[in-house]
Amino acid sequence: MSGQKGRLEGRLIAVGITGSIAAYKAPELVRLLQGEGADVVALLSPSATRFVAPLTLEALTRHPAEVDVLSLLPDGRIGHIVVAHSADAIVVAPATAHWLAAMATGLAGDVVTAACLATAAPVVVAPAMDGEMYAHPATVTNVGRLRVDFRYRIVEPEEGPLASGESGVGRLANLPSIVDAVVASVRDRPVRAPGPEARPPYIPAPREADLTDRHVVVTAGGTSEPIDPIRSITNRSTGRMGVALAQAALDRGARVTLIAASVSVPLPDREGAQVVRVESTASMRAALLDTLTGEDGRPGFDALIMAAAVSDFRPSRPAETKIPGGTSMTLDLEPTPDLLAEVSGIARRLGPDRAQPAAGVKARPLIVGFAAETGSLYRAPAKITSKGLDLLVANDVSEAGSGFGTDTNRVTIFSAEGGAEDWPLLTKREVADRILDRLAPMLDARDAAPHTGAVTQETRQ
Ligand code: CTP
């Protein structure tokens, strides 16, 4: 569904940087690996930090840069061990004579050697140093040991001008050939840690306050339908996705109404957040209809993100008193109303008259739906039309790491214009950020074009 995939799609590649002047090329190597679809993490020896700042690597990779064997990650894990266990390959570029010697003898005094010693992943080494250092028998022996005994892939340095002003063999190999060696090293191997939990922590890229003055309504959690005063029918939703969306929207300056059914994660308790607790589909419907129109009769919100797992069925006649146990029984179920279809229908009618938009009248709200599917997403796009959506976030909840009760999700996002984008397995917070990355400019486009009344085709309704 998405465009051409890179050769390192879904992989985590660790770039080990040691203290050669060629360390200045490491950020560019990170970029090239990312261009192939890799998630990248950086490891720096102490002397490498004199040539390139860890902050540069952190900002590029969105992971903490490992620099100290004796420090822990914020979540308490040992950073270089997390890298060793989750990376698909470690590429040491540039590798100094000192590092080659340390590695050849197993001296784990820096995070790069420590991670290489602790990993089962392939290691690619691109030496860079003065020509005479590279030709010295000590270096030749060390490189030979890495190649033969450790089966590391060596990307030989090139001949050319060196930092000393002289010329010789010692220049870091050209970066595309290092990338090719990394690609070759992982070929035919499964991705070692596909999900973000086993990988180094992700540092979310700061987002602009691009939802300031917007009112975003988010529904979260599973509704529950009474059978009798004690029992109910519900589903496995934990509300994580909806709460992540609410938090992400608040972080971008939005006013958020979170309509929360059954959730098992903390709800936002901060300025700008209004939480409405509901239980059944009927009470969620009432809460939605309440927010739909503002006091002035205009649309009451800018966007609705319907992440809740709404029950599709409810007992037709819930008992008023407890149903005694001990006998078998048949439960009669009736379908619940489709809240999303109903709300989007009303929201469209609330939008301004296309021919004569009144000044200051908010255009119609944008509507984002979710589709929880099992096995395949083929049914998802039809829900855009049947429910009148601008965006649809679909996932296969039967897939490992996706759906209910996990911190991660792999989704495909469909737009009303017909596009579809597959996103990799991401934390729910990152999925939330990316959904809002799509939504915020759509709201801006909606407001910039009041005469059209909408950014999507009204005709498809
Ligand atoms: N939804 C809703 N009201 C319902 C059922 C679902 O508003 N009674 C919303 C959900 O919150 C979600 C979207 O509709 O945003 C799609 O839900 P999903 O369960 O995938 O689809 P359904 O419409 O229930 O269709 P089906 O069960 O046939 O897959």
Residues 6 or more apart in contact with residue 300 via CB below 8 angstroms: 215, 291, 292, 293, 294
Q: What is the residue with the minimal CA distance to atom 18 of ligand 1? A: 371
Measured in Å, residue 216 CA sits from the centre of ligand 1 at 20
- The two domains 12-198 and 215-321+329-452 share their CATH topology (first three levels equal): yes
C-alpha 338 to ligand 1 mean position (Å): 7
Candidate from 340, 378, 404 with most ligand 1 atoms within 8 A of CB, to mutate: 340
* Residues 63-93: tens digit of each pLDDT: 999 999 999 998 899 999 999 999 999 999 9
pLDDT at 2 over 50: no
Q: CATH assignment of 12-198? A: 3.40.50.1950
453 pLDDT above the threshold of 80: no
From atom 3 of ligand 1, which residue's Cα is the shortest distance away? 338
Q: Map residue 16 onto helix, strand or coil.
A: strand
For residue 175, is pLDDT > 50?
A: yes
Reported as a pLDDT band with limits 50, 70 and 90, residue 4 is low
Which one is predicted more confidently, 290 or 424? 290
Alpha carbon nearest to ligand 1 atom 24, residue: 312
Residues with a CB atom less than 6 Å from ligand 1: 281, 306, 308, 310, 312, 336, 338-340, 369-372, 383
Which ligand 1 atom lies nearest to the CA of residue 339? 7
Per the prediction, the chain carries an average pLDDT of: 91
- pLDDT value at residue 342: 96
Q: Whose CA is nearest to atom 21 of ligand 1?
A: 371
- Nearest to 183, CA basis, from 71, 353, 35, 41: 35
The number of C-alpha atoms within 13 Å of 276 and in the hemisphere containing its C-beta is 18
| Ligand 1 atom at minimum distance from 341 CA | 7
Residue with more model confidence, 286 or 378: 286
- Asked if residue 104 has pLDDT above 50, the reply is yes
For residue 53, the model assigns a pLDDT of 97
Would you state the torsion angle of the CA atoms of residues 250, 255, 260, 265, taken in this order, to the nearest 10 degrees? 20
Once rounded to an integer, what is the mean pLDDT over residues 217-236?
96
How much distance in Å is there from the Cα of 354 to the middle of ligand 1? 29
Give pLDDT, residue 352.
Answer: 57
Token pair for residue 368? 């984002």
Segment among 115-124, 150-159, 400-409 with least mean pLDDT: 400-409
Sequence spans of domains, the chain: 12-198, 215-321+329-452
Neighbouring residues of 338: CB distance < 8 A, sequence distance ≥ 6: 387
Beta bridge partners of 35: none
The answer to which of 53-62, 302-311, 406-415 has the lowest mean pLDDT is 406-415
Summarised one tens digit per residue, pLDDT across range 306-362 is 999 999 999 999 999 999 999 899 999 999 999 999 999 998 887 654 434 444 446
What is the Cα–Cα distance from 250 to 106, expressed in whole angstroms? 49
pLDDT computed for residue 402 by the predictor: 77
Nearest to 241 by CA among 393, 380, 63, 391: 393
Of the two residues 375 and 182, the one the predictor is more confident about is: 182
Which is more confident, 45 or 419? 45
Going by C-alpha positions, the residue among 353, 372, 60, 32 that lies closest to residue 173 is 32
Q: Would residue 216 be called left, alpha or beta, if left means φ above 0 and alpha means ψ between -120 and 50 degrees?
A: beta
For residues 243 and 307, is the Cβ–Cβ distance under 8 A? no
Angstrom distance (rounded) from CA 424 to CA 431: 9
In the reported structure, the alpha carbon of residue 123 is separated from the centroid of ligand 1 by a whole-number distance in angstroms of 47
Which has the minimum average pLDDT: 273-282, 382-391, 404-413?
A: 404-413
CA-based angle 146:83:53, to the nearest 5?
90
Query: HSE on the CB side for 357, CA within 13 Å?
Result: 18
What is the reported pLDDT for 74? 83
Closest to 394 (Cα-Cα) out of 408, 404, 381, 407: 381
Torsion of CA 437, 442, 447, 453, to 10 degrees: -160
Tell me: the pLDDT tens digits for 275-289?
A: 999 999 999 999 999
Does 105 have pLDDT greater than 80?
yes
pLDDT of residue 168: 84
Which residue from 258, 312, 395 has its CB within 8 A of the most atoms of ligand 1, so it is best to mutate?
312
Q: Which CATH superfamily is domain 215-321+329-452 in?
A: CoaB-like (3.40.50.10300)
Q: Is residue 458 classed as helix, strand or coil in its secondary structure?
A: helix
Whether the pTM exceeds 0.85: the reply is: no
CA distance 423 to 139: 44
Q: Give which of 372, 373, 254, 357 is closest to 304, Cα–Cα.
A: 254
Annotation marks residue 174 as catalytic = no
Kindly name the residue from 142, 235, 395, 409 that is annotated as catalytic. 235
